[in-house]
Amino acid sequence: MLNKDNIPVHVAIIMDGNGRWAKSRMMPRIMGHNAGLKAMKEIVKKADSLGIKYLTVYAFSTENWKRSEEEVSGIFKLLVSYVASELRELQENNVKVHVLGRWRELPDEAVKSLERLLSGTKEDTGLQLNIALNYGSRDEITEAAKILAGRVADGEIDPHDITERDVAEALYTGREAIPDPDLLIRTSGELRLSNYLLWQLAYSEMIFTDTYWPDFTPDEFEKAIEEYQERSRRFGGRK
């Protein structure tokens, strides 16, 4: 039974298994990504209805450029289509969208669509949907180190005085005051983080499911929240 008084503030998801879902059905991989977008739409609705404040999804990593040109191009076309079809509904549901990563390095049409998405939802005050695009956690941490090095060079801060909070605030999430995830969910049976939110997930609960992302339903999402609620979070301490 879901405890409405113990809903995680922030849930992060690695939406994995789109390609294998399509392959198992003898479909092109891009059909799996299309099905994955539909699944994401339903999970966003469910997260909002449960009272989750932040939902962060791993949509395209810095390593995904290694995939075929056809697949990468298809993913960005789906992104453009998603913005065109879902912007109004996101606005109607008061969902604010933020993008993590080097998204301005994406193809021009995708960048313009994202700018429209960000502008169109910036005044919304409900669920914040963070989309990690052209994102890699090591890249994020490296960039944070450069920011802190710049502050040191400018005499703004002594290197010996740098704190964990300073590092956290220099990350993409910290710049937007996004709290660390309480829960990470990864679909498709893989048991790794794949360069995703490495700093932020230090004390997050983690749930791994064999379900491919396109088959990950709102009911399964709710069951993951229920499993999270059964755990005792100690943050390195003892209880």
Catalytic member of 48, 64, 93, 166: 64
Respond yes or no: is residue 18 known to be catalytic. no
**Stretch 153-171: mean pLDDT:** 97
Structure tokens of 94?
């008061």
The pLDDT value recorded for residue 1 is 85
pLDDT tens digits, residue range 171-211?
A: 999 999 999 999 999 999 999 999 999 999 999 999 999 99
pLDDT tens sequence across 40-88: 999 999 999 999 999 999 999 999 999 999 999 999 999 999 999 999 9
Mean pLDDT estimate for the chain: 95
Q: How confident is the model at residue 239 (pLDDT cuts 50, 70, 90)?
A: low
Contact 121, 90 (CB under 8 A): yes
Residue 232: pLDDT band (50, 70, 90) is confident
CA torsion through residues 113, 118, 121, 125, sign: positive
58 DSSP β-pair partners = 14, 132
| Catalytic residue from among 3, 5, 6, 16 | 16
Q: Beta 128-135 vs 183-186: how paired, if at all?
A: unpaired
Domains delineated in the chain: 10-136+180-229 (3.40.1180.10)
Q: Does 16 participate in catalysis according to the annotation?
A: yes
| pLDDT confidence band for 238 (50 / 70 / 90) | low
